[in-house]
């Protein structure tokens, strides 16, 4: 019987030892490249996974698909596919979706890619992505965007998270996108950026600590933002060159500015802007803006309406702001039933304006003036109340030909109605002033205004 000696045994084992040295024990296997059937991963893998058939499901079972490469998981020109529970890292596009229809992407995580999730064209797809749903996905710490959705139709994103990316959610050239209960925090620029899109709906989303804006809507039409929260951003909500947007029940706190609207024909209802460094609501160059039942407390300026003609402000509140409650530097605006109280300077400041109508507004307990009218003409000021300020109604700077009727000024610490020496041609009819410390009404030397049937107990120059 032939026996093995030590030299023979060593000769047999050496080839196997060399193979073990060339193949690490914990090497990550290569991912399946093209899927044509339902697939569940049983281990992490490297390389691109491409879904090559309609109606199939990829379940990564919480395993990781690692790059490098152009795409981590690629879904192009597919119908009714599902991608779930994948962790994707190290690719140009983590989850790449192009030209798909009615597909679902759930519970995936895309980290340390260029874009976490990309929905759009790569130059080879033949159509936009339509009726796709993204829910419960996480795209954090990507060098590009968390979710980049371009050229899509009726895409729905629900309960996704995009933190510490360039943009959190970037929606462009898309129609009818719906974003609900998503979170975008601490991104380099904007939390949510809507660009060149129509009919986008954003509901109950949160954007905090983004240096540019929490929500930025640019060059888009008919966007609807409801019950969203934006705290500690550069601006909470910034709507620029976007007609027909509707913002309701949103909250902006501790931003540089709460709401910036620089577009025509937008509507803001029941929004709250508190404790912002600059403005609660800043509305420049936006004709036909409607603001109703909004609240701006403890900002620098509550509402600043600048060069925004034919705007309407109804039942808004500005309280405890460190400058003015309402600043109006526009023409043809209508202010009705608004309240400005306990602001450090002026409740309602109308400057360089004409043809505005103020009716049934209240300005109480402001440190300087209830209603300040500066260098403004042809304004109609009716049935307003200014109590417990320093001055109730204060007209100066050649404010001429205004109409003041049936207004009330009581218990102001200096003057109820003041007209400086540069004013003329103002009609002051059926107003009431009482309990003001210095004068109920005072007209400066050289002023020429018309006073008819007013109730002034203590007055001078009239």
My answer on whether 42 and 185 are in the same domain is yes
Supply angle C-alpha 354, 261, 287, rounded to 5: 35
> Which pTM value belongs to this model?
0.93
Q: What is the predicted pLDDT for the residue at 28?
A: 86
My answer on whether 305 and 358 are in the same domain is no
Q: What is the predicted pLDDT for the residue at 26?
A: 59
In degrees and rounded to multiples of 5, residue 6 shows phi and psi of -60, -40
Q: Which residues contact 320 (CB under 8 A, 6 or more apart)?
A: 297, 298, 341, 342, 343
Q: What is the predicted pLDDT for the residue at 128?
A: 86
My answer on whether 264 and 377 are in the same domain is no
Picking from 314, 340, 366, the residue at the C-terminal end of a domain is 340
In degrees and rounded to multiples of 5, residue 202 shows phi and psi of -120, 120
| Per-residue model confidence as pLDDT tens digits over 209-229 | 999 999 999 999 999 999 999
- Tokens 């008819």: give the residue: 452
18 within some domain: no
My answer on whether 379 and 260 are in the same domain is no
My answer on whether 81 and 176 are in the same domain is yes
Q: What is the predicted pLDDT for the residue at 92?
A: 97
12 within some domain: no
Please state whether the peptide bond connecting residue 400 to the residue before it is cis, i.e. omega within 30 degrees of 0. no
Give residue 392's domain range. Answer: 345-462
13 within some domain: no
| Per-residue model confidence as pLDDT tens digits over 374-389 | 999 999 999 999 999 9
What is the total residue count of the chain? Answer: 462
Inter-residue contact 174 to 149 (CB < 8 Å): yes
Q: Which residues contact 158 (CB under 8 A, 6 or more apart)?
A: 133, 134, 135, 136, 178, 179, 180, 181, 182
14 within some domain: no
Residues of the chain with pLDDT under 50: 1-25
Q: What is the predicted pLDDT for the residue at 127?
A: 73
Picking from 281, 310, 340, the residue at the C-terminal end of a domain is 340
């Amino acid at each position: 019987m032939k026996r093995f000696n030590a030299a023979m045994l060593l000769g047999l084992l050496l080839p196997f030892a060399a193979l073990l040295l060339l193949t690490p024990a914990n090497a990550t296997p290569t991912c399946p490249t093209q899927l044509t059937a339902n697939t569940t991963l049983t281990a992490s893998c490297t390389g691109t996974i491409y879904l090559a058939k309609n109606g199939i499901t990829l379940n990564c079972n919480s395993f990781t698909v690692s790059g490098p490469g152009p795409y981590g998981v690629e879904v192009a020109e597919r119908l009714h596919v599902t991608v779930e529970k994948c962790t994707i890292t190290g690719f140009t596009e983590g989850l790449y979706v192009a030209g798909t229809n009615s597909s679902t992407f759930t519970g995936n995580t895309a980290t340390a890619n260029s874009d976490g999730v990309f929905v759009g064209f790569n130059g080879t797809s033949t159509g936009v992505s339509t009726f796709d749903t993204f829910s419960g996905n996480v795209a954090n710490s990507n060098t590009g965007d968390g979710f980049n959705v371009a050229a899509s139709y009726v895409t729905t994103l629900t309960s996704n998270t995009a933190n510490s990316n360039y943009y959190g959610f970037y929606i462009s050239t898309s129609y009818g996108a719906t974003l609900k209960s998503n979170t975008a925090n601490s991104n380099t620029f904007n939390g949510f950026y809507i660009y060149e899109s129509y009919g986008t709906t954003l509901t109950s989303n949160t954007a905090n600590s983004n240096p540019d804006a929490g929500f930025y809507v640019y060059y888009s039409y008919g966007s609807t933002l409801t019950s969203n929260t934006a705290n500690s951003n550069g601006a909470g909500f910034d709507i620029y060159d976007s007609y027909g947007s509707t913002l309701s029940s949103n909250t902006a706190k501790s931003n540089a500015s709460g709401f910036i609207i620089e577009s025509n024909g937008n509507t803001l209802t029941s929004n709250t802007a508190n404790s912002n460094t600059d403005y609660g609501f800043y509305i420049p160059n936006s004709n036909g803006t409607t603001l109703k039942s909004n609240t701006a407390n403890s900002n620098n300026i509550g509402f600043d309406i600048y060069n925004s003609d034919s705007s309407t402000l109804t039942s808004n509140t500005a309280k405890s702001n460190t400058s003015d409650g309402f600043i109006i530097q526009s023409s043809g605006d209508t202010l009705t039933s608004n309240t400005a109280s306990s602001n450090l300077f002026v409740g309602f400041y109308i400057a360089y304006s004409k043809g505005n109508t103020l009716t049934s507004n209240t300005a109480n307990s402001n440190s300087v003036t209830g209603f300040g009218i500066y260098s403004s003409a042809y304004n109609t000021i009716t049935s307003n109340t200014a109590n417990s300020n320093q001055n109730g109604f204060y007209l100066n700077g050649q404010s001429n030909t205004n109409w003041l009727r049936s207004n009330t000024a009581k218990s102001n610490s200096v003057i109820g109605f003041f007209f400086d020496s540069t004013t003329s041609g103002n009609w002051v009819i059926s107003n009431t002033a009482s309990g003001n410390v210095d004068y109920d009404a005072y007209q400066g030397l050289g002023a020429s205004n018309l006073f008819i049937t007013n109730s002034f107990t203590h007055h001078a120059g009239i």
